[in-house]
A and B are shown apart, each in its own frame.
Chain A
Amino acid sequence: GEDVEQSLFLSVREGDSSVINCTYTDSSSTYLYWYKQEPGAGLQLLTYIFSNMDMKQDQRLTVLLNKKDKHLSLRIADTQTGDSAIYFCAESIESNYQLIWGAGTKLIIKP
């Protein structure tokens, strides 16, 4: 079945770039998403990429998609303390508009 995998933790220094990685299995995915969740809060849509694109940039965020390897990454430039959160990768299933979710990567910012 479909599966999305992420590493559980990433620790970076304030001001450095963060790169959060995700692998997925469903080659028919139409969109791939990054959501951010702060403690005790709901999920905030950060960005998404259509499966026929290989890169998308939005201010400090850069999404890279390698469809051949089924690998998605989220780069956050100039990481700030406000970026501390859990980041979820999700792929869409075209047939029923449902999302398959990763377990989330907790981003830890060191001063």
Chain B
Amino acid sequence: EAEVAQSPRYKITEKSQAVAFWCDPISGHATLYWYRQILGQGPELLVQFQDESVVDDSQLPKDRFSAERLKGVDSTLKIQPAELGDSAMYLCASSWAGRADTQYFGPGTRLTVL
């Protein structure tokens, strides 16, 4: 069964450092989402891509966060500089374009900022 891949699974960094997360969606899925999940809460959408284009990044803190999906396949989410409050689980999800609201999630990256 096809899965969404994410790496790394865990990342520990010091504040003010740069971090990057990678996501490879299920083959053929045109829509890709990055979420942040704080412990005890539901996921919060950071950015939504349709192919290589950003559809919605209204909740992305653009002063420190950036996301790209250059060839419309895999994607990278970057934080620079990391702050203590960025400690969270970062989840990637993908879906078909024609049925875009059925989202399949990767295992996530647990970020700890010290």
Contacts and interface: CB of A to CB of B under 8 A. Distances in A.
Contacts of B103: 45, 99
Contacts of A96: 48, 55-56
B21 interface: no
Interface residues of A, number: 25
A18 to B, nearest CB: 19
Given A98-B48, A98-B56, A43 B101 contact: no
24 contacts: A31-B102, A33-B102, A41-B108, A42-B105, A42-B107, A42-B108, A43-B105, A44-B105, A45-B104, A45-B105, A92-B101, A93-B101, A96-B56, A97-B31, A98-B45, A98-B56, A99-B45, A99-B101, A102-B42, A103-B40, A103-B41, A103-B42, A104-B41, A104-B42
Interface of B: 4, 6, 31, 40-43, 45, 48, 55-56, 91, 93, 95, 100-108, 110
Interface of A: 4, 30-31, 33, 35, 40-45, 48, 88, 90, 92-94, 96-99, 101-104
A4 B55 CA distance: 23
A97 B100 contact: yes
A32 B30 CA distance: 21
A40 to B, nearest CB: 7
A103 to B, nearest CB: 5
A97 B101 contact: yes
A31 B101 contact: yes
Contact of B43 (A40, A43, A92): A43
Contacts of A101: 42-43
Contacts of A92: 101
A45 B105 CA distance: 8
B102 A45 contact: yes
Contacts of B110: 40
A69 to B, nearest CB: 21
Contacts of B41: 103-104
Nearest to A29: B101
Nearest to B10: A40
A94 B31 CA distance: 14
